[in-house]
């Protein structure tokens, strides 16, 4: 089992920045891919960013050039640096992990995850 806890969400004006963190515990060695997806109430999930254990990354087109995913293996912590935030980035953001599988594309994070956290709300005002 892998336990994921997100933090760092909040409210920010358009153009601002936030950094999300995801602390992982448990059998983290089995997580070949970790990432972030977002979902608004009543809407589908959207994979935002993913990182494989070899360091390869993938992003949704909507966030490329603005968001950066990274991982500190020593701290078992995943990050999402979000810059130039837009009102359309407003959502609940979830940290997710896949066991024994790589993320071939960012959609794996939202559709194929084995573990996810409880989410952290990001609100961007215009």
* Cβ atoms < 10 Å from Cβ of 59: 21
- Return d(Cα 20, Cα 117) in angstroms, integer: 12
pLDDT on residue 72? 95
User: Quick one: which of 94, 80, 89 has its CA closest to 126?
Assistant: 89
Tell me the pLDDT tens digit for each residue of 31-76: 899 999 999 888 999 999 999 999 999 999 999 999 999 999 999 9
* Cβ atoms < 10 Å from Cβ of 124: 20
For residues 104-112, give the mean pLDDT.
91
For residues 73-97, give the mean pLDDT.
96
Is-contact 83 94, C-beta < 8 A? no
């Amino acid at each position: 089992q892998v336990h994921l806890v997100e933090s760092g969400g909040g409210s920010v004006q358009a153009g601002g920045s936030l950094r999300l963190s995801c602390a992982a515990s448990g059998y983290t060695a089995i997580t070949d891919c970790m990432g972030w997806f977002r979902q608004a109430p009543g809407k589908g999930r959207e994979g935002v960013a993913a990182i494989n254990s070899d360091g390869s990354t993938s992003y949704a087109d909507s966030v490329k050039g603005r968001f950066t995913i990274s991982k500190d293996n020593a701290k078992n912590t995943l990050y999402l640096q979000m810059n130039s935030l837009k009102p359309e980035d407003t959502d609940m953001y979830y940290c997710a992990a896949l066991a024994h599988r790589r993320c071939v594309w960012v959609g794996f994070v939202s559709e194929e995850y084995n573990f996810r956290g409880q989410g952290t709300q990001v609100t961007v005002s215009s």
